[in-house]
Amino acid sequence: MSWIEDYYGAWSADDAEAVAAFMAEDVVFEDVTAGHVARGPRQVRRFVEICAERVPGARYEVVRSHACPDTYAVEWVMQPMGVRGASYGTLRDGLITGNRDYWNGAVFTP
Amino acid sequence: MTAVTPTDTVRALLDLLARGAVHGPELAGLFAADVEYCYHVPTAPVVRGREAVVAELRTQTTHYSEFRYDVRSVTTTPERVVVERADSFVLPGRTDRVGFPVVGVFDLAADGTITGWREYWDTRTFAAQTRGAS
């Protein structure tokens, strides 16, 4: 599951370019809890930058994950806050075309 | 005979809940003896063991009626099923439906029984709809 580890590693490093490199041109990236929708790698890159500004130092630990040719799912923990969440996504040719993050906004407000 | 897939098992579980069929043997038969269930990660306690999980589900269904789930997407492996859903139900004393998006993660054993079930959702969505309810 190396790409998932690499992908969350890019998030942990606040590396917006690296995160965006996982995205397809037509990606729709949604943080369901935050109500934020990013369309296309450029908006995803900006979303990573916003997250880094609002939650500096956050890093993501992958708890469980699986990836199929066209879908993936990840359970993760955002540290050091200990926020647990899950993401569902779709893939095309190894690139993310859709992602939706689910976590509890009642336990953490960025 | 048609093989039962992991997705079939999870849908069977959700269908039983939607029918309110929580007192028959079918529900317990879907779970492994050592199943662990958390209806809201991370704030809800982890319920361990088949009998305790069935009891928890029976208790939950006394808090609402007309449970409905709409599947948005599913991703599956032989050991895991992840279901994105829109759940809704009716609370006592109300006629409108309370709903929220949720992703459920189900772990399955080789024999097809559910060994783990974790639900991720934003409790604020639920609270916003029930605020002020008596």
Q: Is residue B104 part of a domain?
A: yes
B98 in A contact zone (CB under 8 Å): no
* Distance from C-alpha of B116 to C-alpha of B109, rounded to nearest angstrom: 9
Mean pLDDT of B88-93: 94
Q: Which residue has the higher pLDDT, A2 or B72?
A: B72
Sheet strand arrangement including A36-39 = A36-39, A23-31, A95-103, A83-92, A71-79, A59-67
Mean pLDDT of B126-134: 77
Q: Please tell me the total count of domains within chain B.
A: 1
Q: Is residue B1 part of a domain?
A: no
ipTM of the complex: 0.93
Mean pLDDT of B56-81: 95
Q: Cβ distance B111 to B86 under 8 Å?
A: no
Residues of A in contact with B73 (CB under 8 A): 71, 88, 90
pLDDT at B130: 87
Would you call B121 helix, strand, or coil by DSSP? Answer: coil
Q: Please report, for the domain that includes residue B22, its CATH number.
A: 3.10.450.50
- Phi/psi at B39 (nearest 5 deg)? -80, -10
Count of residues in chain B: 134
Q: What amino acid occupies position A10?
A: A
Q: Tokens 């269908």 identify what position? A: B15
**DSSP secondary structure of B36-49:** EEESSTTTSPPEES
pLDDT at A2: 83
Residue contact A102–B42, C-beta within 8 A: no
Q: Cβ distance B48 to B116 under 8 Å?
A: no
Mean pLDDT of B19-46: 95
Q: How confident is the model at residue B73 (pLDDT cuts 50, 70, 90)?
A: very high
Question: Taking 70 as the threshold, does the pLDDT of residue B134 lie above it?
Answer: no
pLDDT at B3: 75
Residue contact B120–A102, C-beta within 8 A: yes
Mean pLDDT of A88-105: 97
pLDDT at B1: 56
Give the range of the structural domain holding residue B119, as residue numbers without chain letter.
Answer: 6-130
Question: Taking 80 as the threshold, does the pLDDT of residue B12 lie above it?
Answer: yes
Would you call A94 helix, strand, or coil by DSSP? Answer: coil
Mean pLDDT of B17-36: 95
By CB atoms closer than 10 A (0-12, 13-18, 19+), residue A84 is: buried
Mean pLDDT of A17-46: 97
Q: What average pLDDT does chain B have?
A: 94
DSSP B61: T
CB-nearest partner of A106 from B82, B118, B123: B123
Q: Which two tokens stand for residue A93?
A: 């040719």
Question: Taking 50 as the threshold, does the pLDDT of residue B32 lie above it?
Answer: yes
By CB atoms closer than 10 A (0-12, 13-18, 19+), residue B59 is: exposed
* Distance from C-alpha of B86 to C-alpha of B35, rounded to nearest angstrom: 24
Choose among B124, B13, B56: nearest CA to A33. B124
pLDDT at B132: 63
Q: Which domains does chain A have, with CATH numbers?
A: 2-103 (3.10.450.50)
